[in-house]
Structure 1
Amino acid sequence: MLLSCSLVALSVLASRSPEADLPFSDASDPVAVITGWTPHTPNEAGAAICDVGSAVDGLRCRGPNCEEIRLHCLKTNYTTGTQTTIHVSAGNLPSAECPANAWVTSLTCSGEHCNNIFMDCREFAGVKPTNCVYSEFVSGSSGGEVLLYSGYYLRGLECEAGTSDHGGVTYCERLSLYSCKMTPEG
């Protein structure tokens, strides 16, 4: 079951900057990125990580089921606090959202077709989420990139389930990004 809220198309572009056109990196060790694209999460294991103080403002995937994901990180002007990890699973949870005042700072992928996604959410001091929207669904076979509006950062994912022909494994066939404007409190 998918959430019954309206989807708002965010900026789905061919490239964000010159580095956006670089091929996917095949780094075996996760590297925290301050601003720019992370290495992709290799199919079946890996993490895409934004450095402390940075948050996710774009996602690119490849493979028919978005099984290899990389994030675009952008440095914010805010300090970070508590981190929470949330499991996004096609089998038992169609969507997942960070707690209040928290934004996604990394994604970890495991299992066949990246069928287990874990979002690390970190609180940012002095800001609150406003004007939240869902993106179009993306997959590696449909362009595979979503770049968020300026000032918007990833707060959650919605997963459209698919099932493997091999053993009935359930995975996220397509992803929709839930993002909010990072607005100063007060």
Structure 2
Amino acid sequence: MKIEVWQGDITTLAVDAIVNAANESLLGGGGVDGAIHRAAGPQLLAECAALPEIRPGMRCPTGEVRATAGYLLPAKHVLHTVGPVWQDGQRDEPALLANCYWKSLQLAEQMGLRSIAFPAISCGVFGYPLHQAARIAATETLAWQRSHREPQRIILVAYNAATFKAYHQALVESGQPLDLPATA
């Protein structure tokens, strides 16, 4: 099995789960979070709002994951994870970002999901440097795949050409041979 890299709109993928790069409230936001909420319809927001708050305004801490249905999305489920806001890389950002991938894969396995698609977590408004984040995504997903059977299909979704290239480079550096590029 190989980790796939695909360029396009994550909300169009017919997989068991797509991962949402969410904020702690899980009530929608900008970037991929807003796109997923718009595509899934108002039921997603209602389910997210019904999740218990850990403290006011926080339903999911950084590095953790929560699951909801996919509603109007082709994906059956949405796994919401909160990536770290980049500061300087010295405040646990790498470990927290790694947790986003690992815990999403762990939950997917527990739910019996066979396919999962990840966006570039924390690379938008949270400011994580793209190439560093791509290396973490590649390292974590490849490590998972070496030691687990499910999910069988893991897709790293690039929203633009720069992200696509960063994912490919990170996978090559991690030792995964690549086939021809896949784009939307």
TM-score, with length taken from structure 2: 0.26
Higher relative contact order (Cα pairs below 8 Å, separated by 6+ residues): 2
Higher strand share: 1
TM-score, with length taken from structure 1: 0.25
Higher helix share: 2
